[in-house]
């Protein structure tokens, strides 16, 4: 805490400043400001000068250190996933999984393991916005008793590419264009779609990226996936394949595209603020960990390769087994020290978890150490508090830049015989308890010569893209088609949109026709697939709308009031909303107190111009006749209601507010109600049936 000492100043005849320093020292109980060397600072307001108007002196070590540190306090941002938000919490195991894994955190029911979870966008820089159409990172660091396990994934269960050698090309293509450095944080531009249209293996991922999965309502309402097929190994050395899934307690929820665009204008930190405020309020975000566990025989029975990161195993074929819950209950104390300096690495695993030959995973195992060294400047980044394991660390790795430990003794190598002479010999390997890589038995599907080839089934780039499309509702399909139209409309290279539509013909004829019509181009010929796609049964689990969790828990309800608002109706609504687990947020034309019908005033949580309806999951318009007359002349109030209706949100209103709703173009439907239980039921869902009446979709 800085010393808060007031300095009175006046001007002498020559213009010099005379300081009247309090006679007494710092207030008792307050920490004293020091340099990084611990030297107490007497004056943190003025540089050391040769006279009142003379030059600054080089001997001012306080100034030198302060400016020096400031000049170097920024580190390189992540190449991808630069913009992130994070929180501390724990993982609690539901039951022992000793039959399938020896990983310590899965051995005991109720076992709690500390975690640090970071969510992120992929394409944008650290200073970009929270709500673009983009993949979201979902990285979990488990601080287990056997060391750190990093499960580093996304909110989409697959990826754009099958082989890590294409990752630099993907990132170069989707990032800002090399000659003009824009656009920021978006894929709607030439280079990305030029590259993607030439890479059929991206098609399945593009379906997900153009869906509402890429514009989530909240980080708390977002699924997470490990993406790759991993292995679990039990104490007997038996191996199972596994895919990891995180499922949000509040259900999966998205925004509409127009809503996401307006959220960028309303609040660049919308997701970050939402996560931080929920935790601060005690509404701890929670996910369940689901496993898809299967063996070699099951893997070989599938018409696709489980080592292909562009493929999923539908839940209808292999249901999830829920094995624990993830709870985030503490915000970081310092964003830079924790959220920015946390270093995830897929190679960080614990005994009982192992890798497969997924070629994208194998490349990630190689890459992450390099990028952490580049960002954090030292091979000792693992010693930073946020990265340090919570179990003992003992080895012979020494020195290096920013070494924060002080190893003692001569033993910095092994084997050694120093202990025979009374000196500490240091730690030793343990074949019994140490990590052992799974020894793949001969004849398995992963075995083979080392060649620059891909497995035959990797060539099927369209079957699962078609599966994703057929699993969506008609509304979701409209959103996907419209997203393709929007993104490709930003492409100036004439050859790219027809090429992309030619790829989409392998997914679905209607989808391709809708995109071509939306772009105003002729339907091109179908691009010949490397392997003919097959029809797979739809997977309802892939649809957000089919799995909508009708709840108000964790949601935010905007309540518009004005002078004369009925105090009883307002109080009842706030009670109902709070009782349903939602957070009421009162909006008024002015931030100061608004007079209610009972003669009392209420201070609004937000001012109308600064609190657009995009910030809320449902809205209420609680006005008196006089308040309605005033707001009929307020363009912001009309826009507030128009957007809420256009973004398919439930709207409740008093009878006196009806003229304002009518002027805003609100048409009666099941989502427009009077205050009460009907509103609570309506607010728990989104009114997708309303959408075709409001906007033209592809």
Same domain, 92 and 68: no
**CA–CA dist 194, 53 (Å, integer):** 61
- Non-local CB neighbours of 138 within 8 Å, separated by 6+ positions: 117, 119, 153, 154, 155, 222, 223, 224, 225, 246
Domain of residue 41, CATH code: 4.10.91.20
Separation in Å, CA 674 to CA 43, 220, 550, 551, 659:
62, 29, 19, 19, 14
Domain of residue 109, CATH code: 2.40.180.10
Q: What is the pLDDT of residue 441?
A: 60
Asked if residue 422 is part of any domain, the answer here is no
Q: What is the pLDDT of residue 28?
A: 60
Same domain, 676 and 584: yes
**CA–CA dist 290, 318 (Å, integer):** 11
Answer with the one of 351, 383, 415 that is the final residue of a domain: 383
> Number of folded domains in the chain?
4
Q: Where are the beta strands (DSSP E) in 158-238?
A: 224-225, 230-233
**Contact yes or no for 292/318 (Cβ under 8 A):** yes
Same domain, 233 and 260: yes
Same domain, 302 and 376: yes
**Contact yes or no for 44/26 (Cβ under 8 A):** no
Same domain, 149 and 261: yes
Tokens 């592809």 belong to 698
Domain of residue 652, CATH code: 3.40.50.880
Q: What is the reported pTM? A: 0.90
Same domain, 248 and 133: yes
Question: Which DSSP string do the residues of 298-325 spell out, in sequence order?
Answer: HHHHSSS-TT-TT----TTTS--EEEEE
How many of the other CB atoms lie within 10 Å of CB of 157? 24
**Contact yes or no for 621/603 (Cβ under 8 A):** no
Q: What tokens were used for 695?
A: 């906007």
Asked if residue 205 is part of any domain, the answer here is no
Q: What is the pLDDT of residue 395?
A: 87
Asked if residue 358 is part of any domain, the answer here is yes
pLDDT in tens, 642-664: 999 999 999 999 999 999 999 99
Asked if residue 637 is part of any domain, the answer here is yes
Asked if residue 416 is part of any domain, the answer here is no
**CA–CA dist 375, 341 (Å, integer):** 9
**CA–CA dist 689, 99 (Å, integer):** 47
Tokens 């999830």 belong to 320
Domain of residue 494, CATH code: 1.20.1370.20
Same domain, 557 and 648: yes
- Non-local CB neighbours of 574 within 8 Å, separated by 6+ positions: 559, 584, 586
Asked if residue 240 is part of any domain, the answer here is yes
Q: What is the pLDDT of residue 309?
A: 98
Q: What b-and-e string marks burial along 198-210, b requiring 16 or more CB atoms within 10 Å of the CB?
A: ebbbbbbbbbbbb
Q: What is the pLDDT of residue 27?
A: 55
- Non-local CB neighbours of 210 within 8 Å, separated by 6+ positions: 133, 479, 480, 483, 484, 487
Answer with the one of 46, 73, 100 that is the final residue of a domain: 73
**CA–CA dist 316, 240 (Å, integer):** 19
Q: What b-and-e string marks burial along 558-590, b requiring 16 or more CB atoms within 10 Å of the CB?
A: bbbbbbbbbbebbeebbebbeebebbbbbbbbe
Tokens 């009175």 belong to 8
**CA–CA dist 364, 683 (Å, integer):** 42
Same domain, 219 and 351: yes
Q: What tokens were used for 9?
A: 């100043």
Same domain, 539 and 579: no
Strand, helix or coil for residue 258: helix
Q: According to DSSP H, which parts of 198-241 are helical?
A: 203-209
**CA–CA dist 271, 132 (Å, integer):** 11
Asked if residue 181 is part of any domain, the answer here is yes
**Contact yes or no for 541/315 (Cβ under 8 A):** yes
Asked if residue 49 is part of any domain, the answer here is yes
Q: Which residues are catalytic, by number?
A: 81, 154
- Non-local CB neighbours of 259 within 8 Å, separated by 6+ positions: 614, 643, 647
Q: What is the pLDDT of residue 141?
A: 98
Q: What residue ranges of the chain have pLDDT lower than 70? A: 1-29, 441-448
Same domain, 368 and 473: no
Answer with the one of 493, 513, 546 that is the final residue of a domain: 546
DSSP collapsed to 3 states, 391-416 = CCCCCCCCCCCCCCCCCCCCCCCCCC
CA angle, residues 263, 266, 269, in degrees to nearest 5: 75
Q: What is the CA radius of gyration of the chain?
A: 29
Same domain, 517 and 467: yes
Strand, helix or coil for residue 314: coil
Q: What is the pLDDT of residue 446?
A: 66
Same domain, 225 and 353: yes
Q: What tokens were used for 142?
A: 């488990």
Question: Where in the sequence is the domain holding 633, given as residue range(s)?
Answer: 553-693
């Amino acid at each position: 805490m800085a010393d808060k000492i007031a300095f009175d100043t006046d001007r002498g005849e020559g213009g010099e400043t005379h300081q009247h320093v309090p006679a007494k020292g710092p207030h008792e109980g307050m920490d004293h400001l020091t340099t990084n060397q611990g030297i107490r600072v007497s004056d943190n307001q003025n540089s050391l000068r040769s006279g009142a108007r003379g030059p600054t002196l080089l001997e001012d070590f306080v100034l030198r250190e302060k400016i020096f540190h400031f000049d170097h306090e920024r580190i390189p941002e992540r190449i991808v996933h630069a913009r992130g938000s994070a929180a501390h919490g724990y993982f609690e195991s539901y039951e022992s999984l000793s039959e399938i894994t020896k990983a310590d955190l899965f051995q005991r029911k109720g076992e709690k393991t500390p975690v640090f979870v970071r969510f992120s966008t992929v394409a944008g820089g650290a200073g970009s916005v929270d709500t673009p159409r983009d993949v979201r990172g979902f990285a979990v660091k488990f601080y287990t008793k056997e060391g750190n396990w990093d499960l580093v994934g996304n909110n989409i269960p697959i990826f754009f590419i099958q082989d890590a050698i294409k990752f630099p090309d993907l990132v170069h293509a989707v990032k800002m264009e090399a000659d003009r450095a824009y656009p920021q944080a978006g894929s709607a531009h030439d280079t990305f779609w030029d590259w993607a249209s030439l890479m059929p293996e991206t098609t399945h991922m593009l379906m997900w990226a153009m869906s509402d999965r890429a514009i989530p309502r909240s980080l708390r309402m977002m699924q997470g996936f490990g993406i790759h097929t991993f292995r679990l190994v039990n104490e007997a050395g038996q191996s199972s394949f596994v895919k990891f899934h995180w499922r949000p307690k509040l259900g999966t929820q998205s925004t509409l595209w127009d809503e996401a665009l307006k959220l960028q204008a309303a609040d660049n930190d919308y997701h970050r603020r939402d996560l931080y405020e929920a935790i601060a309020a005690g509404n701890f975000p929670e996910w369940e960990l689901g496993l898809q566990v299967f063996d070699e025989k099951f893997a070989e029975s599938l018409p696709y390769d489980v080592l292909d990161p562009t493929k999923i195993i539908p839940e209808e074929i292999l249901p999830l087994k829920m094995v624990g819950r993830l709870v985030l209950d503490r915000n970081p104390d310092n964003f830079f020290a924790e959220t920015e300096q946390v270093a995830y690495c897929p190679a960080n695993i614990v005994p009982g978890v192992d890798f497969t030959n997924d070629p994208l995973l194998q490349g990630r195992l190689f890459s992450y150490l390099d990028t952490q060294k580049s960002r954090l400047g030292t091979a000792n980044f693992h010693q930073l508090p946020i990265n340090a394991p919570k179990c003992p660390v003992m080895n012979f790795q020494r020195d290096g830049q920013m070494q924060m430990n002080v190893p003692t003794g001569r033993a910095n190598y092994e084997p050694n015989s120093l202990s025979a002479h009374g000196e500490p010999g240091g730690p030793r390997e343990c074949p019994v308890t140490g990590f052992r890589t799974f020894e793949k038995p001969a004849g398995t599907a992963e075995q083979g010569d080392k060649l620059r080839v891909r497995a035959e089934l990797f060539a099927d780039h369209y079957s699962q893209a078609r599966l994703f499309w057929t699993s969506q509702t008609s509304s979701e399909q409209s959103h996907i088609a419209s997203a393709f139209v929007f993104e490709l409309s930003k492409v100036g290279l004439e050859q790219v949109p027809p090429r992309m539509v030619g790829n989409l013909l392998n997914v679905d004829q209607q989808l391709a026709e809708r995109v071509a019509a939306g772009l105003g181009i002729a339907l091109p010929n179908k691009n010949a697939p490397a392997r003919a796609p097959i029809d797979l049964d739809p997977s309802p689990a892939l649809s957000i709308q089919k799995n909508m969790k009708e709840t108000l828990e964790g949601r935010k309800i905007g309540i518009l009031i004005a002078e004369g608002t009925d105090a009883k109706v307002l109080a009842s609504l706030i009670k109902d909303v709070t009782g349903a687990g939602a957070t009421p947020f009162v909006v008024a034309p002015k931030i100061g107190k608004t007079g209610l019908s009972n003669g009392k005033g209420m201070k609004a949580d937000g001012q109308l111009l600064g609190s657009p309806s995009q910030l809320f999951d449902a809205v209420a318009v609680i006005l008196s006749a006089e308040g309605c007359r005033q707001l009929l002349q307020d363009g912001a109030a009309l826009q507030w209601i128009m957007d809420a209706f256009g973004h398919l949100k439930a709207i409740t209103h008093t009878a006196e507010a009806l003229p304002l709703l009518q002027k805003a173009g609100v048409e009666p439907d099941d989502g427009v109600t009077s205050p009460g239980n009907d509103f609570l039921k309506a607010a728990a869902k989104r009114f997708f049936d309303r959408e075709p009446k409001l906007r033209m979709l592809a």
